[in-house]
Structure formats: C-alpha cells, structure tokens
Amino acid sequence: MKITETFRSIQGESLYSGWPCFFIRTTGCPLRCRWCDTAYSFYGGEDRAVDALVEEAVSSGTFLVEITGGEPFVQPELPELVQKLLDRGKTVLIETSGGFPVPDGLNRDCRLIVDLKPPGSGMDAWMKPEHFSDLGQRDEIKAVVADRGDFDWSVQKLEEWGVWGRVPVTFSPVYGECDPRDLARWVLDSGFPIRVQVQLHKILFDPLLKGV
C-alpha cells in the first residue's frame, strides 16, 4: 500500500475531535483543493505491507485509527487494511474527499468522514449525490467553508440530497480565511442541525508540522 506517513496525534476535525489517534496517510489524490494542506501526499510515498501497518497501529496504543490522505478510497488494499484493524479491536475512521463512492468490499463497521467540497475549494464538480447516499448515523459529512457562499451552497446540497437527520453534519471554517464566529452565526440563523467545529490540530500544533 502506498503510504506517505504514519504518526500519533490528536484527532482534530470530526466527531472524534480531541481523542489521541494513530494516523495512516495514504499517497495520491486526484483532487486539488485550493486550501489543501497535505500536497506533500500527492506523489512519492513508500510501499508498506498491510500487516506491518496494522502492527504499528496496534503498538501506538490508541483505540482510534484514522486512515487519511491523499485519498484513501483510491487505494485497492483499503478494505483489507480496515478489516484487519477492526479485527484487532480498533475504532477505524476513514477521511475521504467526497469525490468517490464507498469502495466495494469495505466493512462498514468503520466510520466515514466524508468531505463536502464547496465551490471555494474549486472541487465542487466532484461532489455527486451517489457518493453520499450510503452514509448513515455512524458516519459524518464535513464541509469546510471559506465564506457565506460556501455555507449556503453546502446547506442547499445537503437539503437536496436528503441528508439532514440521516447523517451527522459538521461545518468548519477554512483556517485563517473564515472567521469561526461568522460561521457560528450562520449556523444559528439557519436552524439546521450542524455541529460547528474548528480545526483543533491547527490550534494545537503548527499548521505546517505533523503531530507528535
């Protein structure tokens, strides 16, 4: 499996925000979000055996393992990795771009954090309703918004796709670009069940550094 890095840190952007977590960052992503902070994962990487990744995750001592990218859904060995981590009792999160459907053969005891990329990201054309149709209460949809236009677009898509009440939804402000207080006001005014969050890892750690 092509891997850019593995590390222990604090989960910073999901309903599991704040928990110690072992991260596995896969290599390669077909998208190019304007505010991508992991462009170093687009190319290169190291070939790692699935079993070795599982042993490293278990040795890390965290109950939580997140597979992120890059784009994990383009890795053919993803279902095998997820199954083996689940077999070892881990809670497995997968962070994905929203640009791909759920892969065949993926054990859905894992929890998907599916991005909804609004126009500010430049990647809204990748967002298709069928990528969000198989999600449920154990998953979540995460929109990172740059401005009011992104907020309104995201709310409208989630309404159109019948997501409210079916999948938990979080919205975060683009770091350094959107004031979290503005986002909080928009959420309160909208009346929709949106959980506001900030990118905790960018507050705890230098945005250019990995975790610990």
| Strand-pair partners of 26 | 3
Q: Work out whether 145 is an interface residue with ligand SF4 (CB under 6 A).
A: no
Please provide the size of the chain in residues.
212
> DSSP assignment, residue 6?
E
Binding mask 8-47 for ligand SF4 (x = CB under 6 A): ---------------------x-xxx--x-x---------
**What is the H or E stretch that residue 111 is in?**
strand 111-116
> Distance of alpha carbon 18 from its chain centroid, rounded?
15
In the bound state with ligand SF4, the residue whose beta carbon lies nearer, of 175 and 205, is: 175
Q: Which region, judged by CB under 6 A, interacts with ligand SF4, from 64-72, 128-136, 152-160, 194-202?
A: 64-72
Q: Work out whether 97 is an interface residue with ligand SF4 (CB under 6 A).
A: yes
Q: Work out whether 86 is an interface residue with ligand SF4 (CB under 6 A).
A: no
Give the CA distances from residue 169 to residues 81, 105, 114, 138, in Å, rounded to whole numbers and listed in that order: 26, 25, 10, 11
In the bound state with ligand SF4, the residue whose beta carbon lies nearer, of 100 and 205, is: 100
d(CA 170, CA 184): 11
* Least Å from the CB of residue 31 to ligand SF4: 4
Task: List contacts with ligand SF4 (CB under 6 A).
Answer: 29, 31-33, 36, 38, 69-71, 97
